Structures are given as C-alpha cells and as structure tokens.
Amino acid sequence: MIVDLFSDTQTRPTPGMREAMARAEVGDEQSGSDPTTNALCARVADMLGMEDGVFMPSGTMCNLASILVQTRPGDEIICDDQSHLYNTEAAGSAAIGGVSVKALPTRVGLYTLEQAEAAIRVPQRTAPRSALISIEQTTSFSGGTVWDLGVMRAIRDLAHDKGLKAHIDGARLLNAVVATGISASDYAAGFDSAWIDLSKGLGCPVGAVLCGSRDFVVEAWRWKYRLGGAMRQSGVLAAAGLYALDHHIDQLAEDNANARSLHAAIRAAPGLAFDPTAGQSNILCFSVAGLGVTAADFAAACLDEEVRIRAIGRDQIRATANLDVDRAGIARAAEVILAKAAAFATRAETPPAAPPRLQPGALSQ
Ligand SMILES: *Cc1c(COP(=O)(O)O)cnc(C)c1O
C-alpha cells in the first residue's frame, strides 16, 4: 500500500467519523437552525477564546471573508511570501476584495516584528492603506514552522497600534497547540479573526470554522452568503468536526511525532538540506538541490517505491504526516528517501561515463 505523505488533506473520514456523520442531528444552517453546526461553531469559538464562530466550506473562504470584512477596496494586507493566502488562493483578495498584498520575504514563513513595522505604511493619500496583517500558524509551504507566541503578540500589538486588524490563518493551529502545549485561546487572544481547518490533520472531509467578535461574525456571515458558502443540512459535516475535536487531537500529536522521527531518520542523508526549524510539527520540508536532481524527479523516484511526497518548487520537497500514515509507514518512507538520496548522490559524484556504444537494435527495445 502506498505511503501517502503528499498532504494531510488526503486523510479520509474514519469509520467512527462516518458513523458520527450518519447520526448527526440536522436543520437548516442558513437560518441558524442546524443544531450540530451551531454546536461546532460554539465549540471552536470557545476553544479560540472568541465570541462567535461561523462554519465555512473551506479555509480559503475563511481567509477571504476575513479580508473582505476587515478591509476596503484599495487597502493593503501584509502576510509572508510563503503563505497560502498569498500563493494558493487565486488572488481572491485582489479579484474579489480589490485589495493588494504586501508579501514579506521570509525563509520559512516567519517574519519579524521589524519587518512588519517597516511594511506598515504611513497614512498618505497617495498610498494604499495598510489594513490587515496575517500570521500563518503553523506555516504551510515552508515546513510546518511554529510561530513564537511572544512574536505573534508583538506583531498583533503593533498592528493594533497602527490601526490594522490582526488575523491568524490557523489551518494547522492545533498542530502548534499540541507541539507547544500553548492553548489555542492563548494563541488567538487579542486577534481580530482566527480560524482552524477541519479537513487537514483533523481528518474531516470538508470545512473550517472562522471565529472573531460577534460583530465580525455577523459580517463574515454576510460574505459567506454572498460567496455562495451558506449551507443547508451542514450538520452532517459539522458532526465530523465535532468528532475530530473529540478523537483526533491526539492524532495531531502523533503526526507531529511522525514528522519529527522522519526528520531524525533522514536529516544526515547525503545531499538533503533542512532548515534549522525543520521538524517542529507535522510538515517536513527539505531541499534536494545538493543531489543535482529536481524535486519533481526525486518525488517521482520515491513514488516508484510507493512513497508519495510532494515537490513544491524546483528543489523543495514537502512530506506531511497524517492520520493515514502510521509509524511503519514513516519508517518505510525514511528507508525509501534514504535509498533514493544515496542513489542520486552516487550519480552526482560519478563523472559522466563515456557514452555507451549503441548496439544494433538498441533503439527499438
Ligand atoms: C489548507 C490551507 C488553507 C486553505 O484551506 P482549505 O480548507 O484547503 O481551503 C489556508 N491556509 C493554510 C495555511 C492552509 O494550509
């Protein structure tokens, strides 16, 4: 069976989750009368220490609604240059919100207080208005790095001082929570908006919950409706979320541990390069540039051995631990990655051999 480390979005609902979904009490979400969805929103809002929450079909819509509520056309938002918001949301903030993005250059998705300070514009009639700053906890495309709470709070306070709103893209916030022991409400305290994804490591088929003040959620709901995200008997989906919060939080700790042990197993491999922050949560990124091979070719070679990892960019590989890969799967992945790294390293060191003499008929084989 394939060891699939492509993404934690590949996780499938477990039998227990499917049962919970089948049993869900449902109503009409759009009119606020789906009891299971209401229970999920209340539960996540409570977890994040926020007044209210709204169930969204995706994390992408959580980011977009947060931007639409907290900016006006012509405003500018600030985030890191590796972020999901900047790279893989089809420029929704520009296309729908008329907002420009200032993406701060980072190595692993973490920017500094000083960078944030320099990025916030002095109010002038010639400049876009800096309106919102976003922090991705944990970082997604840059290796599951965990933001330091003190830095997050300093950036949040700076934003508020300068009249900006502060947002957390918490797709994997709970991976940070289990990695550090810091609660979700400590991370989200004082932020204007924050959300968690249900369809990543938590293993649900669909959904995310966006939280903020009561007034924020009223406006976020309006955008959800406009964007076509309002639902009917969404309790079937929300039940999966409640089930995951009851049963899969420990799994996130397991995923983090699995990524850490994969890191430990392959970190010394020839030609693989890791950032010093690697292995903090369930995502492990590394470069294969030292092997003289592209990430796509390295990933393809591993897939030949039924280990699926993801090329993100020319040199970078991303492996994401998730509930469908157990310890044996991780050990298998480590074995294959090590073998492929060794094979490519040998090839890189061997001087190009004289071209073999073409045998008659060789081209037709
Ligand atoms: C997956 C992800 C999103 C988007 O969530 P979807 O539910 O896939 O739309 C946003 N931000 C980060 C950091 C993510 O990993």
C-alpha–C-alpha distance, residues 177 and 253, integer Å: 9
Q: Which atom of ligand 1 is nearest to the CA of 57?
A: 7
- Phi, psi dihedrals of residue 259, rounded to the nearest 5°: -65, -40
Q: Could you give the strand order of the β-sheet that contains 316-320, starting from the edge strand earlier in sequence?
A: 283-287, 316-320, 310-311
Instruction: Compute the distance from residue 174 Cα to the ligand 1 centre, in Å.
Output: 13
Packing angle, helices 235-247 and 15-23, rounded to 10: 140
C-alpha–C-alpha distance, residues 174 and 196, integer Å: 8
Tokens 């903030």 belong to 93
- Mutating to test ligand 1, I would choose from 56, 79, 140, 146 the residue with most ligand atoms within 8 A of its C-beta, which is 140
- Mutating to test ligand 1, I would choose from 169, 175, 204, 255 the residue with most ligand atoms within 8 A of its C-beta, which is 169
Instruction: Compute the distance from residue 171 Cα to the ligand 1 centre, in Å.
Output: 5
What does the radius of gyration of the chain's CA atoms come to, in whole angstroms? 22
Residue ranges of the chain that CATH labels 3.90.1150.10: 249-348
Q: What is the pTM of this model?
A: 0.94
Per-residue model confidence (pLDDT) at position 209: 98
For strands 316-320 and 283-287, give the pairing.
antiparallel
Instruction: Compute the distance from residue 58 Cα to the ligand 1 centre, in Å.
Output: 7
Per-residue model confidence (pLDDT) at position 347: 84
Q: Could you tell me if 167 and 187 are in contact, meaning their C-beta atoms sit under 8 angstroms apart?
A: no
Per-residue model confidence (pLDDT) at position 252: 97
pLDDT tens track for 1-33? 899 999 999 899 999 999 999 999 999 999 999
Residue whose CA is closest, atom 2 of ligand 1?
171
Tokens 């994401």 belong to 320
CATH assignment of 249-348?
Answer: 3.90.1150.10
Residue whose CA is closest, atom 8 of ligand 1?
59
Low-confidence ranges of the chain (pLDDT < 50): 360-365
Residue ranges of the chain that CATH labels 3.40.640.10: 15-247
The architecture that CATH gives domain 15-247 is 3-Layer(aba) Sandwich (3.40)
C-alpha–C-alpha distance, residues 225 and 245, integer Å: 26
- Hey, what are 21's tokens? 């979904």
For strands 129-136 and 75-80, give the pairing.
parallel
- Tell me the C-alpha to C-alpha distance, in Å, between residue 254 and each of 22, 257, 308, 327: 27, 5, 19, 9
Q: What is the CB < 6 Å shell around ligand 1? A: 58-60, 63, 84, 136, 140, 169, 171, 197, 199-200, 208
